[in-house]
Amino acid sequence: MKYLVCGAGGFIGGHLVKNLMDEGHEVICADIKPLQYWFQIFEENLNYSLDLKSYDNCIKVTKNVDYIYNMACNMGGMGFIENNKAECMLSVLINTNLLRACIKNSVQKYFYSSSACVYNGLKQKETFVPGLKEEDAYPADPEDGYGWEKLFSERMCRHFKEDFGLETRVVRYHNVYGPLGTYDGGREKAPAAICRKIAEAKMKKLKEIEVWGDGEQTRSFMYITDCIEGTKNIFNSKFNEPYNVGSSEQVSINQMIEMIEEIADYKISKKYLLDKPKGVRGRSSDNTKIIKDLNWSPKLPLKDGLKLTYNWICNEMNSGENSLKFRRS
């Protein structure tokens, strides 16, 4: 079987490509970034650098492909998605044109990477809220811009299944983190950003880091290996409705900072920037459905994953070998 991974030059996509290759699959890769900025490059693959918002490009990369993983979108951390709503919403063209190309080129199965940003904001007004269940996406009130694009694209997958018989799979990721991803430049997410800030403070003997908001906002964070395992479990299952793929271990940003301080063996004070983008007040994943249907949930505790991530970021900051690709805006 031949796989196409869209967004292969990105964080999750790069890890997925490696996993599929380790299993012996033939993998075609596509990403909008120039090859030198892909987080992981496997030269033995057919690697396309092109814009998948174009229908013609989608037709090109899906020829003779059996299965597609669509990880491609224009996104980043909260600072990026709150200030680039139109750019985020244009990613709907990627999903739409890939789905059309699937029908044209007789692709067997299509995977769409959605997000916890689809969930109703009214259920995320307090810290340490109950985990979000899949049905909590409706009535619809997702994150403006990015969340609406994800929710609309989920519906597209549903209707392509209903109208054309295309096998589709959808997951809603909850804050994936780990090595070989962006840690600076404006698109990084909270775990990578805080690891970088504390590592930099320790290197320069600084006593303070900036924290967006009051640090009491809560999230759950899932390590990349758990993400890939959950992704493939859903892809290989019989279920075509959306599933949460995320950790139920909910922590505040302040609690995560304390974990990273302990990992780094370096204490800092915090300067809270209350005017910066903060997102919803509280969010985590309810894994009841995926445990019931697939007997699976993420395994790696947050502190263990943060240690791996912190050590990788420190090595990158010290070596500078690949710093440009992981620090782009």
Do residues 146 and 78 lie in contact, with contact meaning Cβ atoms separated by under 8 Å?
no
Instruction: HSE, CB side, 13 Å, CA atoms: give it for residue 320.
Output: 0
* Token pair in block for residue 52: 């998948």
Q: For residue 169, what is the enclosing H or E element?
A: strand 167-173
For residue 137, which of 158, 127, 152 has the smallest C-alpha distance?
Answer: 152
Residue with tokens 């690949």: 322
d(CA 189, CA 298): 19
d(CA 38, CA 58): 19
Q: Annotated active-site positions, please?
A: 146
CB atoms within 10 A of CB 264: 19
Kind of pairing between the strands at 167-173 and 218-220:
unpaired
d(CA 218, CA 126): 9
